[in-house]
Amino acid sequence: MENQELLTIEEMADRLKVKPSWLYFRTMQTGKDTIPRVRIGKYLRFNPGDVLAWIEKQYNEVEP
């Protein structure tokens, strides 16, 4: 992470134009293909670049 600001769930949801509940649901999933997140104590934070790369990867796996 190169000096990138970590975002809260609300900030990341706003940036992705989705409801925070969608993001909360994604953070409850486990396994290798889960949305990238950072846990700081009881708080979840997101690196926007990592999340956008994850979305791109998910999208590319669905495309024929």
Flag residues of the chain having pLDDT under 70.
1-3, 62-64
The per-residue pLDDT for 1 is 46
* Distance set, CA 3 to CA 7, 21, 48, 49, 64 (Å): 12, 27, 12, 11, 36
The per-residue pLDDT for 12 is 97
The per-residue pLDDT for 60 is 83
Residue ranges per structural domain of the chain: 9-62
The per-residue pLDDT for 2 is 58
Whole-model pTM: value is: 0.81
Question: Which of 49-58 are b and which e, b meaning 16 or more Cβ less than 10 Å from the residue's Cβ?
Answer: ebbeebeeee
Helix axis angle for 9-16 and 20-28, nearest 10°, is 110
Is residue 30 within 8 A of residue 20, CB to CB? The reply is no
